[in-house]
Chain A
Amino acid sequence: MEALALLLAATLNAGTVLAIAALGLLINERAGILNLGAEGMMLVAAIAGFATAVHTGSDVLAFGAGALAGALLAAAFGALVIWLNTNQYATGLALSLFGAGFSAFVGIRYTQEKLPERARFEIPGLADLPFVGPAFFKQHPMVYLAIALAMALAWFLYRSRAGLVVRAVGESPESAHALGYPVRRIRLAAVMAGGALCGLAGAYVSVIYTPLWVEGMIAGKGWIALALTTFATWRPARVLLGAYLFGGVTMLQFHLQGEGVEVASQLLTMLPYLATVLVLVLISRNPTWIRANMPASLGKPFFPGS
C-alpha cells in the first residue's frame, strides 16, 4: 500500500515535467506553429536553471532563468519561421541540434556540481492522511502549478476572447489577418510562451526532478511532450492526463527494477519510448479524427499579402 502511494507520488512528479512542456507546446501549436525544438530548449533551460541554482541558491530564480532561456530560443525560432518563412520542421530540428550542442558546451563545468539538499514540501493537515497524504500532498509546488496551468489554459483557450483569437490564428491565419489581428505578432507571442513553459519544465528537471546536470539529460522528454499534444488532440485536460500516463510508464520501470524483476535495466528504460510509439500508432489510426482536431494551419507558413 505504501509502495503504491510512493509510486503514485513519483508518477505525478514525472508527469509534471511532461505536462508543463506539452502545455507550452500546445499554446504554439494552437496558434499554428509546430516547434520541433522542444528538446533543445529544455536542454538549454536545464543548464541555465541548474547554473542559476548553483550560483544563487534560489529555485525561483532558477525557474525564471530556465523560462527566460526557453523564451529567448523560441523567439529566435519564431523570428525565422514567422518572418523569414523558413521550414518549421527544419528550423525546429536546428534548434534541437543547437540546444544539445550548446547545453553540453556551457554545461561541462557544472557536471561535478551538486545542489544542496532540497527542502521538502507538504500541505499541512492533508499530508498526514493515510495513503492519499504521501501519494498526493507531499509534492513540490510545481506539481500543483502544472494542474492549475492546465485549467487556466483550458479557460484561456475556450472562455476568453484572447484565446479565441489565438485559436483563430491557428485555424485560419488569413481570416484573422483580414479581421485586422496582427497574426505574426500573436504567433510570436504564442511561440515564446511555449518556449518559456518548455524552459520551465527543463529547469524543473535539472533543479528538482534529478538535481544535477548531465549532458543530454532531457533524454527525449521534449520529443515525448511533442507526441503528447497529438495524443491529447490539442486539449489541455487531455495533455495533463497523458502526461501522468507517461509519468506512470516512466516510474513503472524503476518500480519493476526495485521489485527485482529479472529484466535488464536497458530494456525497461525503453518503456516510455515504446509507449510513445504505441500511443502515436493508436491515436493516428484514424486520420480524419486527427484532421478534425488538429489546428488547420499547423506547420504551414503564413505570409500576409501573398
Chain B
Amino acid sequence: MLKLEARPQPSGLMSWASPLLALALTVLIGIALFMLLGKDPVRGLQLFFVEPVKDARAWGELSIKAVPLVLIALGLAVCFRSNVWNIGAEGQFILGALGAGWMAMQAGPDSSRWIVLPILLAGVLGGMLWAGITALLRDRFNANEILVSLMLVYVAELLLGYLVYGPWKDPQGFNFPQTITFAAATKIPRLIDGLRANIGVLIALGAVVAAWLFLFRTYAGFQLQVGGLAPLAARYAGFSSRGALWTALLLSGGAAGLAGALEAVGPLGQLTPHVPAGYGFAAIIVAFVGRLHPGGIALSAILMSMFFIGGELAQSRLGLPKSITGVFQGLLLFSLLACDTLIHYRLRWQRGARAAAAAATAQRSA
C-alpha cells in the first residue's frame, strides 16, 4: 500500500509543482462536473481558460478582477507569513470602499483630478481601522483573530447596508439602495482608451515589488517571518510579537482598503449593497496558491480572475449558476493543500504488513 514518508528536507521542486498539480486536479474535477451536468467540457474549459485571455479587451476585464485580488493577497501573505490569521479581508475591503466613497461624495463638478489621492488614502485608512480593531482585541485581550476578523465582515456588510439604505441614500435614486453617482473627477484614470484597465494595475504591480522588498530585503520583514516560523526563536532574539501582529494586520487592512477604494471609484462609481464581491475570501486562496510569494501571487491572482470571469461566462453562455466559480475556488484550495503534503513527505510503495511478514518467513525457511 502507499505510505507517506517524511522527507529529510522539504522539497523545493514540489513547492513549485504543487500549485500546478492542484490546478490540474481542479481541471480534472471540473471536466467531470461539466460532463455530469451534460455540458461540453471542452466548451466549459474554453470559457475559463481561453476566453478570459483571448484579446486586449479581455485582459482589460481580467485586470479589473486581478487588481483587488493582488492587493488583498499581498497583505494576507504578510499576515500568514507572520502566523497572523486575518480572514476578514472582505470586511476591510468594504470599509475601504466606504472611506473612499465618503471622500468621493465630497467632490463636486469643479473638483480637481487630484482628489483621487485623498480618496485612495481614505480607503487605506478605512481598511486599517477595521483591521486595527482585530489587532487591538488580539493584542489587549488575546481574542482569537480568526473569529474576530470574520465577525467584523458581517458587521461591515451591515454597516454598508445601513449607509446605502439610510443616511447615504441618493435622494434622487428612486429609493434604490445606492449612493449618488460620484463626480466625474473622482474616477480613477484609465490606462489605455477603450479598455477598462485603470491605474490600479500600476498600483498593484508597484505593490508586488514593494511587498517583495519588504518581505525579503528589510529587517522588519525578516522579523515578521521569524515570528511566524519560530515564535520562540523570535522572542529569544528580542523581536516583538506585538509589533509583528500590528504591522501584519495594519498592512493587510490597508491593502484591502486600497483595493476597496479602487473598486469604489473605479468600476463601480457609486456604493451599493453589492460592493463586496468575494475578493476578500478569494484572495485567501490566491495567497496560498501563490505560495505567499509576491511573484506567485501576481500569477495566481490572474488565474483566480479567470475563474471569476469564466463563472460569469458560464452563466451567460451555458446557463450554469455563477457560483460555479466558488466551487472551483474551493476545490483548488483543497487540492493545493493535499498536494502540499508532497513538499514535506514522499509517497512510498510499501507492501502490506502481512505480505512483508510472509516474505520474511519465506526467506527464513529458504
Identify the A interface with B (CB < 8 A).
36, 40, 76, 80, 83-87, 89-91, 93-95, 97-102, 104-105, 108, 215, 219-220, 223-224, 226-227, 230, 264, 266-267, 269-270, 273-274, 276-277, 280-282, 284-285, 287, 290, 303, 306
Contacts and interface: CB of A to CB of B under 8 A. Distances in A.
B158 A280 contact: no
B30 interface: no
Interface of B: 4, 6, 85, 87, 137, 141-144, 146-148, 150-152, 154-155, 158-159, 161-162, 165-166, 281, 284-285, 288, 321, 323-331, 333-334, 337-338, 340-341, 344-345
B341 A280 contact: no
A29 B285 CA distance: 25
B113 to A, nearest CB: 34
B333 A227 contact: no
Contact of A281 (B87, B141, B284, B327): B141
Nearest to B136: A281
Contacts of B154: 219-220, 270, 273
Contact of B147 (A98, A226, A270): A226
A86 B147 contact: no
A227 B281 CA distance: 20
12 contacts: A85-B341, A86-B341, A93-B333, A94-B285, A97-B284, A97-B285, A98-B333, A101-B325, A219-B154, A230-B144, A266-B165, A280-B147
A76 B29 CA distance: 15
A104 B288 CA distance: 23
A267 B158 contact: yes
A177 to B, nearest CB: 16
B137 A277 contact: yes
A284 B340 CA distance: 33
A99 B327 CA distance: 8
Chain B CB count within 10 A is highest, among A40, A98, A224, for A98
A45 to B, nearest CB: 16
Contact of B141 (A36, A226, A285): A285
A102 B141 CA distance: 36
A101 B340 contact: no
A277 B143 contact: yes
B152 A97 contact: no
Contacts of A94: 285, 330, 333-334, 337
Contacts of A36: 146
B161 A91 contact: no
A60 to B, nearest CB: 28
B155 A80 contact: no
Main secondary structure on B side of the interface with A: helix
B133 to A, nearest CB: 8
Contact of B150 (A98, A220, A270): A220
A281 B326 contact: no
Chain B CB count within 10 A is highest, among A83, A227, A266, for A266
Given A90-B288, A102-B326, A220-B151, A80 B338 contact: yes
Contacts of A223: 147, 150-151
Contacts of A90: 288, 333, 337
Nearest to B142: A284
A306 B6 contact: yes
B158 A269 contact: yes
A90 B166 CA distance: 37
Given A83-B4, A269-B158, 15 more contacts: A94-B333, A94-B334, A97-B333, A98-B333, A101-B323, A104-B323, A105-B321, A105-B326, A105-B327, A266-B159, A266-B166, A273-B155, A273-B158, A280-B147, A306-B6
Contacts of B151: 220, 223-224, 227, 273-274, 276-277
A227 B147 contact: yes
Nearest to A34: B146
A224 to B, nearest CB: 8
A82 to B, nearest CB: 12
Contact of A97 (B147, B281, B338): B281
A86 to B, nearest CB: 4
Contacts of A224: 151
Nearest to A76: B334
Contacts of A91: 334, 337
Given A36-B146, A86-B337, A105-B321, A264 B141 contact: no
A115 to B, nearest CB: 22
Q: 7 nearest interchain CB pairs?
A: A101-B326, A98-B330, A104-B323, A266-B162, A94-B333, A84-B341, A108-B321
Nearest to B164: A266
Contacts of A85: 341, 344-345
Contacts of B87: 93
A267 B158 CA distance: 7
Given A94-B334, A280-B148, A84 B141 contact: no
A84 B4 contact: yes
A277 B152 contact: yes
Contact of A99 (B143, B150, B162, B330): B330
B323 A97 contact: no
